[in-house]
Amino acid sequence: MNINKVKIPWKPHENGKKVFGKEAVCDRMCRRSFEKFKVGDFDISDESRFGRPSLVNNVQVMEIIEQKPFFTTADIAEIFKCSQQPIADLIRQLGLVYKVPHNLTEKQLNDQIII
pTM over 0.75: no
For 33, residues 6+ apart whose C-beta sits below 8 A from its C-beta are: 25, 44
CA angle at 83 for the pair 82 and 86, rounded to the nearest 5°: 95
CATH topology classification for 53-115: Arc Repressor Mutant, subunit A (1.10.10)
**pLDDT per residue over 49-92, tens digit each?**
677 767 678 888 889 888 988 888 899 999 988 889 988 888 88
| Angstrom distance (rounded) from CA 102 to CA 112 | 14
Domain ranges of the chain: 10-44, 53-115
**pLDDT per residue over 25-51, tens digit each?**
777 887 888 788 888 888 877 777 677
> Could you tell me if 56 and 87 are in contact, meaning their C-beta atoms sit under 8 angstroms apart?
yes
